[in-house]
Amino acid sequence: MKQLRSIKGTHDILPSESNKWQKLEAIVNEVCEQYGYHEIRNPIFEGTGLFSRSVGEETDIVSKEMYSWEDRDGTSLTLRPELTASVTRSFIQHNLGSQSPIHRLYYIGPLFRRERPQKGRQRQFHQFGIEAFGANNPEQDAEIIAIAWEILSRCGLSDNANLNINSIGSRECRNAYRNALKDYIHPYLNELSETSQHRFNTNPLRILDTKSEKEQAILKDAPKISEYHTQDDSIHFESLIGFLRAMDIPFVINHKLVRGLDYYTRTVFEFNSLKLGAQDALLGGGRYDDLVEALGGKPTPGIGFAAGMERFIIAMEESGLQLKGATPDIYFVCLDERGIASTLNISNKLRRIGLKVVLDPLRRSMKSQLREANKLEAKFALILGETEINDNTVSFKDLEKGIQKTILQSEVINFFDDLTN
RNA sequence: GUGGGUGUAGCUCAGCUGGUUAGAGCACCUGGUUGUGGCCCAGGAGGCCGUGGGUUCAAGUCCCAUCACUCACCCCA
């Protein structure tokens, strides 16, 4: 039989890694709550239409990367390839907008895209992200970016990440700009790559972030989207820039930053890591003022970001982060079958006063058990053997200092209470 | 989907131009007198050399195929 292994592009997060994940999740939870954002948990799969309508039929994500299948009743279902669509669906479905004018949400969870795996890119991967519905003022944009910056900082990544921001304007701005850009590109159309030629018709703005040097050269003198901003677009963007400066968040304005999902309006931004390979986008997001309405809700502005957790973890490791898992306070060494019941009983009482207690279910020798205690970096050992059983005592050993003493079994809890206070 | 690189023990790797029972370090297990960890010492376990074909007296080593992993294109977080 062929050896069982995880599916291509999926991976197991083993205990040696999971402490990093827990650390990252703890930072996300803490920072989001500090800003008044609350967690939302959505289903892993949704109706396929949700994503084609929000993310965009022509995007790569929808057109070639989704895991979709037909359910038994014939409806098309899809493993979620991103979360803004789900959160927005949820926002509309539960009519959250009428419960309060502002909704600030965050999420952590797995996503699925059928891409060729490489460093920082998996088929099942994880993102955390936030979404704020209801406010179209630039201070909301600033708050979103500030949260991103704060999380990056607490993960030790802010020194090695660049923030790029741009405004792709409102709908009327983009319509005008799209025409101007097409007029500019049209004479060079034959020199463009096949994908760019295709995008010329489907989504010409995407041509802007091509990596092809030849195409970049052609685009050098292309019109800038900022020249087509409406007055409100300009005010919004300028205000945001002022707010970012006020918060000392460093950024670069990148006129060519356009993002791959169709629902963005006005502010778009991206944090790129210097510590990653080709997949260097750590976190990206933007405003989506038309999305709620497009999915059938009342017109409601929104803005959010999503961050790649695998990429965060890699970048944190590259930055030299060493995280130790939790180590036991006490390793309970039991040397006699008659003592097992007492060992279990005392251990539970110790755990109830908040201590981490580990014991050996293999009935191994003293030497083996203490070696294990040492390996686990336990602070103390408790030893229960024949003599202790006869005396109703237990031996206490400080494994760092090597000091040992005998205490009555009835006094163990008090002893540790005193010791740890 | 398209390229490049790599597949030998749990991990990191060695194995010269094909030649006996395939090695090291780390990790793991057990011991080093009655019940005491780290260091040290001794021993042990663990490999169909990714898989399938081929060439050869002989293949971990050469050839072909295939699969997997990986990096890059692409895409994005």
What does the alpha-carbon distance between residue A85 and residue A21 come to, in Å, rounded to a whole number?
25
**Using the CB atom, is residue A315 less than 7 Å from strand B?**
no
Determine the topology of domain A15-170+230-318 in CATH: BirA Bifunctional Protein; domain 2 (3.30.930)
- Bases of strand B lying below 7 A from some protein CB: 1-3, 28-32, 35-38, 68-77
Ramachandran quadrant class, A104 (left: phi over 0; alpha: psi -120 to 50; beta: rest) = beta
Number of alpha carbons in the 13 Å side-chain half-sphere of residue A240 = 28
Strands A252-253 and A76-79, by their bridges, are: unpaired
Distance A3 CA to B24 C1' (A): 28
Query: Residue A306: enclosing H or E segment and its boundaries?
Result: strand A302-308
**Using the CB atom, is residue A206 less than 7 Å from strand B?**
yes
CA angle at residue A305 from A301 to A310, to 5 degrees? 160
pLDDT at residue A110 tops 90: yes
* Beta carbons of A168 and A205 less than 8 angstroms apart: yes
Query: Residue A28: enclosing H or E segment and its boundaries?
Result: helix A15-34
Place of tokens 């109830």: A352
**In CATH terms, is domain A330-420 a member of 3.20.20.70?**
no
Distance A397 CA to B8 C1' (A): 45
Strand partners, A39: A106
Calculate mean pLDDT across residues A216-240.
91
Q: Which nucleotide is nearest to A394 (CA to C1')?
A: B35
* Beta carbons of A145 and A161 less than 8 angstroms apart: no
Q: Model confidence over A235-266: pLDDT tens digits?
A: 999 999 999 999 999 999 998 888 777 788 99
Determine the pLDDT at residue A2: 58
Mean pLDDT of chain A: 91
What does the alpha-carbon distance between residue A177 and residue A232 come to, in Å, rounded to a whole number?
16
What does the alpha-carbon distance between residue A328 and residue A358 come to, in Å, rounded to a whole number?
6
For CATH 3.40.50.800, the residue range(s) in chain A are 330-420
- What does the CA dihedral A301, A38, A316, A374 come to, rounded to 10 degrees? -170
Strand partners, A76: A70
**Could you give the percent of chain A with pLDDT greater than 70?**
99
Q: Model confidence over A295-331: pLDDT tens digits?
A: 999 999 999 999 999 999 989 888 877 777 889 999 9
For CATH 3.30.930.10, the residue range(s) in chain A are 15-170+230-318
Strands A393-398 and A404-408, by their bridges, are: antiparallel
**A4 token code pair:** 């069982």
**Using the CB atom, is residue A104 less than 7 Å from strand B?**
no
Q: Model confidence over A160-209: pLDDT tens digits?
A: 899 999 999 998 898 899 889 889 988 888 888 878 888 888 888 888 87
Q: Report how many helices (DSSP H) and strands (DSSP E) chain A contains, helices first.
A: 15, 16
The per-residue DSSP string of A217-230 comes to HHHTTPPPGGGG--
Q: Model confidence over A334-393: pLDDT tens digits?
A: 999 999 999 999 999 999 999 999 999 999 999 999 999 999 999 999 999 999 999 999
Strands A45-47 and A76-79, by their bridges, are: antiparallel
Determine the pLDDT at residue A1: 46
Distance A350 CA to B14 C1' (A): 50
